[in-house]
A and B are shown apart, each in its own frame.
Chain A
Amino acid sequence: AQSVTQPDIHITVSEGASLELRCNYSYGATPYLFWYVQSPGQGLQLLLKYFSGDTLVQGIKGFEAEFKRSQSSFNLRKPSVHWSDAAEYFCAVGAAGAGSYQLTFGKGTKLSVIP
């Protein structure tokens, strides 16, 4: 079974600073990888996804993530954080094999932004 680890529970950055949120997965084959964002009181919104091909994927709101097979990682980055980026971020993995339809989520990283 697949699993996801987000090592950082809470990160605080200053507005305008760069951001990297870490995600490590465990899965025996090439996984499908996702980053979702959740604002307070809201459901989760897809930021970006990796299925295959180019390992650097672009998402909405200026976010990008890089799939590194050798490190089993899919870290999320943004060059300049805005105050509106304050939210909780979830990494998720989907199994590429048949018959497994659930996404496994990490426990999330809460991002606070200092003005």
Chain B
Amino acid sequence: GAGVSQSPSNKVTEKGKDVELRCDPISGHTALYWYRQSLGQGLEFLIYFQGNSAPDKSGLPSDRFSAERTGGSVSTLTIQRTQQEDSAVYLCASSWSDRAGANVLTFGAGSRLTVL
């Protein structure tokens, strides 16, 4: 597609429920990132996918968080047993470059998660 598409744009859930957030990257982009943006905290790296390589999961805050990328394209970020501190905007980005550190990211508009 023309840009990075994320859904849902807004999600309100109850504490303890599971949520799935979807990211559809730009066609042809081999790299896909998930970041979390909390109020006043900037962007926190969560996970990175590059082609068929094993993902870099070093930023996932707990084992309640997981992500997968099917067919090298669409990615789903899953949060199990949501907690109130999970409330944030979850941003997905994709990139065509695989040069470490030099990737120019194109971001989606984000999924705003509110846990009541």
Cβ–Cβ < 8 Å partners of B4 in chain A? 43
Of the residues A41, A44, A45, A94, contact of B101 by C-beta under 8 Å: A94
B46 to chain A, nearest CB (A): 9
A97 at the interface (CB under 8 A from B): yes
Give how many A-B residue pairs fall within 8 Å (CB-CB): 72
Q: Does A19 contact B (CB under 8 A)?
A: no
Q: Is B48 an interface residue, CB under 8 A from the partner?
A: yes
Cβ contacts under 8 Å, A36 to chain B: 107
Chain B residues with Cβ under 8 A from A108's Cβ? 42
**How many chain A residues have a CB neighbour from B under 8 Å?**
30
B104 contacts partner chain A, Cβ-Cβ < 8 Å:
yes
Contact status A105-B48, CB under 8 Å: no
- Whether A102 and B59, one on each chain, are in contact in the complex, defined by CB atoms closer than 8 angstroms, is yes
A99's closest neighbor in chain B, by CB?
B100
Q: Mark A30-60, 1 if CB is under 8 A from B, else 0.
A: 0110101000011111100101000000000
Residues on B facing A (Cβ under 8 Å): 4, 31, 33, 35, 40-43, 45, 48, 50, 56, 58-59, 91, 93, 98, 100-110
- 6 nearest A-B residue pairs (beta carbon): A94-B101, A43-B107, A107-B42, A105-B43, A44-B107, A95-B101
